[in-house]
Amino acid sequence: LLGKEVPGTGSLSHQPLQMRSAYVLKPGQFTNWVPDFRAALDVILYDTHSRLRCLHAYPLCSAEEITGLDQQNRSLLSLTTRSTEGSLTEKQATRESPLDRGEPIREADLYALPNSTFPSDHLALIADFQIPLDSNNMQT
């Protein structure tokens, strides 16, 4: 229905939308990663007929970056949760191993989302937009 007349509206006016994504995803990039599933599910769309301009879309993390950051985070957690005797606490031991989701997990999915570093199974999409001021509405 985007940009098309809604049946039965007759006299209502409409303007077709020309939607564009703020992100141009390359093959292999994803916004959602759970065990046995990795895909681009999320998008930031904006109407190109509006004067809104996308200035910058922040890069998405790769699977390698997510895995590396989560491993680094788990290492830091282990340093801060050692007991006074120098042995690992139960809390730290559970944080060192990937989250058990009730089934065997393929090694490629050990750091799937959510994990100890990324609290959601979706990556954040962040973009900077500019809304130009209309010269008729500018104040001096």
Q: What stretch of H or E contains 66? A: helix 63-80
What percentage of residues in the chain have a pLDDT greater than 70?
64
What pLDDT was estimated at residue 90? 45
pLDDT digits (tens, 9 = 90+) for 33-46: 999 999 999 999 99
| pLDDT at residue 64, as a whole number | 93
Q: How confident is the model at residue 94 (pLDDT cuts 50, 70, 90)?
A: very low
Instruction: Check whether 53 has a pLDDT greater than 80.
Output: yes
pLDDT given at position 131? 92
**What's residue 132's pLDDT?**
86
Q: Is 55 helix (H, G, I), strand (E, B) or coil?
A: strand
Domain residue ranges in the chain: 19-130
Instruction: Please return the burial class of 23, using the count of CB atoms within 10 Å of its CB with bins 0-12, 13-18 and 19+.
Output: buried
Q: Is 73 exposed, middle or buried (0-12, 13-18, 19+ CB in 10 A)?
A: middle
